[in-house]
């Protein structure tokens, strides 16, 4: 069995060179991500919980630093470009001549205000569900807000969306630091979920994480199961996007604990996920979301291959594609894979998994 370095352990030069390669590929992804002028913009409102230190003088719409501080809450709005064939649903259309896509604004709330904020939004939207999103490695606060806004809009989610933003850095060379920062943020994530459980209007809480964020989310869930606090959470769906966690440990240790607690996770993966391929090298073992190391398939979870809808140069962010979000809409509605028209069944060496059907 390969030994895996713990957070804080120094990496070898050849391991760090893999992370440097990711940096170059990320730059290429950004270079090809240019878009045309939007025809219609929509504003998505959500809540946030963060243990980042607020900036005294925000610049470039970055309201919080990469430093860790106390837990605080508030509201945020992100403006997104509507698809040509999209339906704005509950989101208001905004003027295109004064606001650009990806514009983000925040409004801090008083301390310990999360249950009240959630109840107010739930009453306004006539919904009794909440969705908590934990972002991954190398995400600023504003980018985390944009990602959740995209998921909410693309999946037509009409409940109370909340992003938990921990102090991630902004460079691929900070992988080791981000691993430690996320680990130290676990108590604040647990406190956020417990505060959310006190909201009177909420009867179900969906949990969603991307990449490295799965490490903290699964750690908190395991903690709640062990301590007997899970029942207070009223858990709905558990969605794991491109998890940057050790595959063997999850399948052998974590998944059985989740299954015994009645939790059936939905796992989304994609081939040629460069960050996870690099993480495989850095961590001396395959990651759960790394489809190139073989799809992780088990009877106690639903594995979804998002490769058909993933963007070629940005496979790691397949959760931001409309094809993936269309399937998530059905997951949040409690519809099993066999009944979702977004999927086709596939048989692999370890059993049945599902593949997202790309729209023609």
- Residue 149, in any domain of the structure: yes
Residue 6 covered by a domain: no
Residue 318, classified by CB atoms within 10 Å of its CB into exposed (0-12), middle (13-18) or buried (19+), is: buried
Domain contains 334: yes
Higher pLDDT, 12 or 199: 199
Q: What confidence score (pLDDT) does residue 290 get?
A: 94
- pLDDT band at residue 17 using 50, 70 and 90 as cut-offs: low
Contact assessment for residue 266 and residue 236, using Cβ atoms and an 8 Å cutoff:
no
pLDDT at 170: 85
Interatomic CA distance for residues 250 and 344, integer angstroms: 25
CA dihedral 63, 22, 163, 207 (to 10 degrees): -170
Cα 67 to Cα 185: distance, rounded to the nearest angstrom: 11
Higher per-residue confidence, 72 vs 313: 72
Q: Is the confidence at residue 21, as pLDDT, over 70? A: no
**Residue 309 pLDDT:** 96
pLDDT digits (tens, 9 = 90+) for 250-265: 999 999 999 999 999 9
| Interatomic CA distance for residues 167 and 136, integer angstroms | 10
Residue predicted with more confidence, 174 or 11: 174
Whether 27 maps to a domain, the answer reads yes
209 bridge partner residues:
134, 240
**Between 334 and 101, whose confidence is greater?**
334
pLDDT in tens, 118-167: 999 999 999 999 999 999 999 999 999 999 999 999 999 999 999 999 99
Nearest to 272, CA basis, from 322, 315, 311: 315
Give me the percent of the chain exceeding a pLDDT of 70. 85
What are the Cα distances from residue 132, in Å, to 160, 165, 202, 217, 218? 9, 10, 12, 10, 13
pLDDT at 8: 39
User: What pLDDT was estimated at residue 324?
Assistant: 97
Task: Report yes or no on 5 lying in a domain.
Answer: no
296 confidence band (pLDDT: 50, 70, 90): very high
The mean pLDDT value for 52-67 works out to: 85
pTM here is 0.88
Domains held by the chain: number: 1
b/e map 80-113, b = 16+ CB within 10 Å: bbbeeebebebbeeeeeeeeebbbbbbeebeeeb
Collect all residues with Cβ–Cβ distance below 8 Å to 212 and sequence separation of at least 6. 136, 137, 168, 178, 179, 182, 244
8 located within any domain: no
- pLDDT tens readout for residues 88-125: 455 677 766 677 888 899 999 987 789 999 999 999 99
Give all strands (DSSP E) within 34-191, no chain letters: 41-59, 62-81, 93-94, 104-108, 129-134, 160-165
What's the CA gap between 223 and 204, in Å, rounded?
19
Task: Give the lowest-confidence range in 47-56, 89-98, 222-231.
Answer: 89-98
CB 266 within 8 A of CB 277: no
CB-CB contact of 293 with 287 (8 Å): yes
263-281: average pLDDT: 96
In a domain, 236, yes or no: yes
Residue 1 lies in a domain: no
Inter-CA distances, 13 with 20, 27, 180, 186, 287, Å = 10, 21, 20, 29, 21
Which pLDDT score, from 0 to 100, does residue 15 have?
Answer: 54
pLDDT value of residue 22: 52
Name the token pair of 310.
């993933």
For the residues 27-54, what does the mean pLDDT come to? 73
Cβ atoms 290, 277 nearer than 8 A: yes
Exposed/middle/buried for 136, CB within 10 Å: 0-12, 13-18, 19+?
buried
Residue 201 and residue 126: Cα distance in Å, rounded? 9
Q: pLDDT tens digits, residue range 299-309?
A: 999 999 999 99
pLDDT reported for residue 283: 94
Average of per-residue pLDDT across 337-346: 98
Task: Tell me the residue range of the domain where 292 lies.
Answer: 13-356
What does the alpha-carbon distance between residue 133 and residue 123 come to, in Å, rounded to a whole number?
Answer: 21
């Amino acid at each position: 069995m390969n030994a895996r370095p713990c957070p804080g352990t120094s990496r070898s030069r050849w391991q760090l060179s893999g992370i440097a390669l990711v940096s170059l590929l990320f730059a290429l992804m950004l270079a090809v991500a240019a878009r045309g002028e939007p025809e219609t913009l929509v504003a998505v409102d959500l809540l946030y919980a963060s243990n980042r230190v607020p900036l005294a003088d925000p610049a470039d719409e970055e309201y919080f630093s990469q430093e860790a501080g106390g837990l605080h809450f508030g509201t945020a709005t992100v403006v997104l470009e509507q698809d040509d064939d999209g339906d704005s649903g509950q989101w208001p259309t905004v003027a295109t001549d004064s606001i650009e896509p990806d514009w983000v604004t925040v409004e801090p709330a008083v301390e310990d205000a999360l249950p009240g904020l959630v109840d107010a939004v739930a009453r306004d939207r006539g919904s009794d569900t909440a969705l908590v999103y934990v972002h991954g490695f190398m995400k600023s606060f504003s980018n985390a807000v944009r990602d959740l806004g995209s998921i909410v809009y693309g999946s037509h989610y009409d409940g109370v969306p909340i992003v938990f933003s921990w102090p991630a850095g902004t460079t691929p060379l900070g992988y080791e630091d981000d691993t430690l920062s996320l680990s130290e943020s676990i108590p604040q994530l647990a406190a956020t979920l417990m505060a959310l459980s006190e909201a009177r209007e909420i009867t179900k809480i969906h949990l969603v994480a991307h990449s490295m964020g799965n490490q903290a989310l699964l750690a908190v869930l395991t903690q709640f199961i062990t301590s007997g606090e899970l029942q207070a959470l009223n858990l709905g769906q558990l969605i794991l996007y491109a998890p940057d966690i050790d595959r063997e440990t999850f399948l052998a240790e974590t998944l059985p604990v989740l299954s015994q607690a009645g939790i059936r996770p939905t796992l989304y993966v994609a081939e040629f996920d460069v960050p996870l391929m690099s993480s495989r090298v850095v961590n001396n073992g395959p990651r759960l979301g790394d489809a190139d190391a073989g799809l992780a398939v088990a009877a106690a979870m639903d594995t979804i291959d998002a490769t058909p809808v993933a963007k070629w140069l940005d496979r790691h962010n397949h959760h931001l594609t409309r094809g993936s979000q269309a399937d998530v809409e059905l997951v949040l509605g409690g519809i099993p894979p066999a009944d979702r028209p977004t999927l086709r069944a596939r048989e692999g060496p370890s059993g049945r998994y599902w593949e997202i059907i790309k729209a023609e």
